Every structure is written in C-alpha cells, then in structure tokens.
C-alpha cells in the first residue's frame, strides 16, 4: 500500500479486482453519463489563487458537522450493495471510516443491517433514508436508526424513481442471490414514493427529534424550500450522476446553494471529489465538508476497512498540502478569494 499515493490508483486496482458486473454497477451513471463525467471534469474549471509567506505550521483540518467533531472535512457518502465489493461490505467501510475519525452515512440499501453497521464502528453515524411508498417502512428505519445511535437522518430527495443505469442494463447483469438489502425482510416491498412532496419533512418531524438533512439539492430555489422546512443541513448532490443525467455537476451548483442559504444551515457537497485539492475547492466555494462515494468503495474493494481508512488518509494529506501551499493555517482560512472559475 506504500506505493498507493493517489485515489485514482485505488480506482485502477479496484477495477482489476472486482467482477465485471460489480464494477459496472458502481462505476455506472444514468443515460449518456454526462453528469457522471461532468462531476469530475467540473473541478478542473476551478483554479486556486495561492497566497505566499503565510506561516501555516500544523494545518488544522478538524471540523464539526452538525456539532459532531470529525478529523478532516470529508465523510463517507451513503452507498448500497457494498457486499458486491468485499465480503464484509458496509461493516468494513464503516469501520475504516471510523478509524479515519470521520463520519459514515449508512444507506437504506445497505447489504448489512443498520444495527450491524453501528456495532462495527467507533465513529459517528448518520442514516440515509429513502421515502417508501409504504411509509411504515421509512418510519421503522428511522426508529431503528434512533435506537442504534445514529445522529441524523439524511433524506435523499433526488430519487422519486431509482435511476436506470443503462450501461449496467445493456449487459443484462444481475447480482448473486446472497447480495440483498439487509434492512428489509424478503417480503417487504421497498418501492420508493414517487409522489412525495415537501411535507415529508413535516411528517418526519412528527416521528423523530433527530436532525434532518436534505440530500440531492442542486438549485437555490430548493435550498430555500429545504431551509423553510426545517432541515439542519443540505447535501448538494446529483447522486454521483446516477439519477437525472445532464443535471448540473454538483460543484457548479454549490455556489448558488451557498448564496441562497446564507449560513442558516450547513451545506455539504458530494460528487466527483477525487483529491485533496477538490476538497479544498469545495470548501473555498462554501461547503462545510464533502462526502465521497466511489473513492471509498474503491478502497473497500482493494483492502477492506484498511483501504477505506487509507483513502481518507490520502485525501487528508493532499488537503494539508494544498492548505500549506496556499497559505491556509486552518480550514476557516479557505475562503472564496482563493478560487477562480475559468
């Protein structure tokens, strides 16, 4: 592992180690994959304006998310079906994330139950919720997440229908029998609610006191509505290019969301983060922290929990470097004046 110094190396290694169907599932986007490519490419439209002769000894990368301390401003995005990549699946990725001293968001579609995930890690957890046609399914998940010590509910809003991954569908791949969603029993129907509206937040408020986050916001208009409906945080996201193809790359949507929110709630970003300088750019544009989906999965596929920790450590080191070379002794020094769009 000493020769792995960039996240992209984990991508190459993971591709060579997992079977074709599993690789296709995690790598795919929807449609012609414009958003999938755009998420990564858009970071290259931003350039840094470094300051010199600013002493930066001991760059401090610790921060908090909804009051929870994390050791770097990068968390694990919710992703399902991880047993396709590693037999220990989500238990290993949650453990690896905790060992990196950051926060893991467990997916409703995990192949490990939310209770097993909670007992596998020492790190803080949020729970990602889909709103199901059968509302009681969502309600039971929220209650279980509360019981198991999860600290917030991340409601995914960009999925009134599960996106069709054409690359995957064209191959007619299917998953092995034993790969199944672990939060449900075989007879439970987890069809997502395609009719949900903003009142889901009012309903969630009646069943839990946990903070609620809105994941999948790409516009100032929806950011305003989310704030009005009492969310504690917003995750600017297009689901890693896996829902609406041609939706804005998330880093291009970030500035308008930050502007609309005006600091009333915390704003995070996911989609296309592949290096510490990408993290730096997102923070300069106003994100409090970011989340990584595929990079964490690549680490899991290659080396289980250890690989996941290593992915966070690579991002930590790269961010530290970017801070030191641009004159930022602390995260609070990463301001919009350090970035230019071109």
Binding-site entries for glyoxylate: 25, 239, 242
Residues 6+ apart with CB under 8 A from 322: 48, 276, 277, 279, 280, 328
Based on the residue annotation, tell me whether 239 is a catalytic residue of this protein: yes
297 with 14: CB under 8 angstroms?
yes
What tokens were used for 333? 């020094």
Residue number with CB closer to ligand FNR (37 or 229): 37
Q: Is 93 in the site for ligand FNR (CB under 6 A)?
A: no
Distance (Å, whole) CA 94 – CA 296:
10
User: What's the closest the beta carbon of residue 290 comes to ligand FNR, in angstroms?
Assistant: 9
Q: Is 311 in the site for ligand FNR (CB under 6 A)?
A: no
User: What's the closest the beta carbon of residue 152 comes to ligand FNR, in angstroms?
Assistant: 13
Q: Is 277 in the site for ligand FNR (CB under 6 A)?
A: no
Dihedral angle sign, alpha carbons of residues 294, 298, 304, 306: negative
Q: Is 111 in the site for ligand FNR (CB under 6 A)?
A: no
Per DSSP, 78 falls in state: P
139 with 110: CB under 8 angstroms?
no
Q: Is 73 in the site for ligand FNR (CB under 6 A)?
A: no
Q: Is 77 in the site for ligand FNR (CB under 6 A)?
A: yes
86, 229, 239, 341: which is the annotated catalytic residue?
239
Residue number with CB closer to ligand FNR (296 or 328): 296
Phi, psi dihedrals of residue 51, rounded to the nearest 5°: -100, 145
106 with 126: CB under 8 angstroms?
yes
Distance (Å, whole) CA 294 – CA 300:
10
Which residues are annotated binding-site positions for FMN? Answer: 78-80, 107, 128, 130, 156, 215, 237, 270-274, 293-294
271 with 249: CB under 8 angstroms?
yes
User: What's the closest the beta carbon of residue 115 comes to ligand FNR, in angstroms?
Assistant: 17
The site for ligand FNR (CB under 6 A) is made up of 26, 39, 77-80, 107, 109, 128, 156, 215, 237, 239-240, 242, 270-273, 292-294
Catalytic residues: 239
């Amino acid at each position: 592992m000493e020769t792995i110094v960039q996240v992209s190396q984990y991508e190459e290694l993971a591709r060579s180690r997992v079977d074709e169907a599993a690789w296709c599932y995690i790598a795919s986007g929807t449609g012609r994959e414009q958003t999938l490519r755009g998420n990564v490419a858009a970071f290259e439209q931003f350039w840094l304006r470094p300051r010199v002769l600013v002493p930066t000894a001991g760059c401090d990368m610790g921060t908090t998310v909804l009051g929870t301390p994390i050791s770097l401003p990068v968390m694990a995005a919710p992703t399902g079906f991880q047993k396709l990549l590693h037999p220990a699946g989500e238990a290993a990725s949650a453990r690896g994330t905790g060992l990196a001293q950051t926060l893991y968001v467990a997916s409703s579609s995990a192949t490990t139950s939310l209770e097993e995930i909670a007992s596998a890690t020492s790190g803080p957890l949020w729970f990602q919720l889909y709103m199901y046609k059968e509302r009681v399914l969502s309600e039971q998940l929220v209650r279980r997440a509360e019981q198991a010590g999860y600290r917030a509910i991340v409601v995914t809003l960009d999925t009134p229908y599960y996106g069709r991954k054409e690359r995957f569908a064209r191959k007619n791949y299917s998953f092995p029998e034993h790969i199944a969603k672990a939060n449900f029993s075989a007879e439970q129907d987890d069809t997502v609610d395609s009719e949900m509206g903003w009142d889901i937040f009012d309903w969630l408020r009646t069943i839990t006191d946990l903070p609620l986050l809105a994941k999948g916001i790409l516009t100032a208009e929806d950011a305003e509505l989310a704030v009005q409906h009492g969310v504690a945080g917003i995750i600017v996201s297009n689901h890693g290019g896996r829902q609406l193809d041609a939706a804005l790359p998330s880093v291009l949507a970030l500035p308008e969301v930050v502007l609309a929110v005006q600091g009333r709630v915390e704003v995070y970003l996911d989609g296309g983060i592949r290096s510490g300088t990408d993290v730096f750019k997102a923070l300069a544009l106003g994100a409090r922290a970011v989340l990584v989906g595929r990079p964490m999965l690549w680490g899991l596929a290659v080396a289980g929990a250890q690989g996941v920790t290593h992915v966070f450590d690579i991002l930590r080191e790269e961010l530290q470097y970017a801070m030191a070379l641009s004159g930022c002794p602390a995260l609070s020094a990463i301001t919009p004046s350090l970035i230019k769009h071109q």
